[in-house]
């Protein structure tokens, strides 16, 4: 694998939280690489460190030691404002609880990241309509989240995550609040995005999803157990 193929690289990544004289190590030396265009699953039970790893990958937190390199950017060297800027441009977030604005329409929710990126209004609207159609919600543009099903809300969240054409999608238990049928539909959507070239990193506690991923990274007690599956792209 050439260096130009690597999107994310973690090198001896550690995170320790401090409370007075006490130190609590949560991540204890994480090493892995993610190739562009792959569908990666990070699987771990509660307490394994996956939430902390998710926050670091999403640039919501920084490591205590080690390196997080996104493309050619050494994340730990960035200022808070630089982190916010890179986070908005490079990462599309998809959450278990959708995190949609209840007072905004489908179209307006999709536009939010572009608003922060100062994309002109006409371009925002056009992109939002395109993305809504892509996730099969072109007929719901004027609806608000309370008028949508859980699966439709998650589709809005996926469209919103794609709005700024991010380097990768970071999905946090995206099927956790959905029934089995809707979960299958959302996973089909992720596969369609993957097949179109998107890089996806999904964090989950559910080992039943393992077969969906090109690459599986298992976390236990702040360490990776092993990496399973060869990248096929």
Token code pair at residue 61: 């937190």
Using H for helix, E for strand and C for coil, what is the string for 43-79? ECCCCCCHHHHHHHHCCCCCCCEEEEEECCEEHHHCC
The whole-number pLDDT of residue 76 equals 87
Angle, helices 150-162/180-195, rounded to nearest 10 degrees: 20
Angle, helices 150-162/106-116, rounded to nearest 10 degrees: 30
CATH code, domain with 184: 3.40.50.300
Overall number of domains in the chain = 1
> pLDDT tens track of the chain, all 233 residues?
456 799 999 999 999 999 888 999 999 999 999 999 999 999 998 889 998 999 999 999 999 999 999 998 999 889 999 999 999 999 999 998 999 999 999 999 999 999 999 999 999 999 999 999 999 999 999 999 999 999 999 999 999 999 999 999 999 999 988 999 999 999 999 999 999 999 999 999 988 899 999 999 999 999 998 644 443 33
- Rounded Cα distance, 66 and 31, in Å: 9
Structural domain containing residue 18 = 3-228
The whole-number pLDDT of residue 230 equals 41
Burial tier of 25 (Cβ tally within 10 Å: 0-12, 13-18, 19+): middle
Structural domain contains residue 196: yes
DSSP symbols for 156-169: HHHHHHHTT--SEE
Structural domain contains residue 105: yes
Structural domain contains residue 67: yes
**3-class secondary-structure state, position 211:** helix
Structural domain contains residue 129: yes
Identify whether the C-beta of residue 69 lies closer than 8 Å to the C-beta of residue 4. Answer: no
The whole-number pLDDT of residue 46 equals 85
The whole-number pLDDT of residue 3 equals 63
Q: What is the pTM of this model?
A: 0.90
Structural domain contains residue 165: yes
Identify whether the C-beta of residue 167 lies closer than 8 Å to the C-beta of residue 135. Answer: no
- Rounded Cα distance, 16 and 25, in Å: 4
Structural domain contains residue 55: yes
| Nearest one of 131, 97, 96 to 113, comparing CA atoms | 131
Structural domain contains residue 95: yes
Neighbours of 49 (CB within 10 A): 22
Structural domain contains residue 233: no
């Amino acid at each position: 694998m050439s260096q130009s193929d690597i999107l994310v690289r973690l090198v001896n990544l550690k995170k320790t939280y401090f409370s007075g004289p006490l130190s609590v190590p949560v991540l204890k030396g994480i090493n892995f690489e993610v190739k562009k265009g792959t569908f990666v699953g990070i699987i771990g039970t509660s307490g394994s460190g996956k939430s902390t790893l998710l926050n670091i990958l999403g640039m919501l937190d920084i490591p205590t030691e080690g390196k997080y390199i996104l493309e050619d950017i050494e994340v730990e060297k960035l200022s808070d404002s630089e982190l916010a800027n890179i986070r908005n441009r490079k990462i599309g977030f998809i959450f278990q609880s959708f995190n949609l604005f209840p007072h905004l329409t489908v179209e307006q929710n999709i536009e939010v990241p572009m608003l922060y990126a100062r994309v002109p209004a006409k371009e925002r609207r056009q992109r939002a309509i395109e993305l809504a159609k892509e996730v099969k919600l072109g007929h719901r543009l004027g609806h608000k989240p309370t008028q949508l099903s859980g699966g439709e809300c998650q589709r809005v969240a996926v469209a919103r995550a794609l709005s700024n054409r991010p380097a990768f999608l970071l999905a946090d238990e995206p099927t956790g609040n959905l029934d089995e049928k809707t979960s299958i539909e959302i996973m089909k959507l992720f596969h369609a995005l993957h097949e179109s070239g998107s890089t996806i990193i999904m964090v989950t506690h559910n080992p039943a999803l393992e077969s969906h991923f090109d690459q599986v990274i298992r976390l236990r007690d702040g360490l990776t157990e092993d990496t399973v599956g060869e990248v096929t792209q």
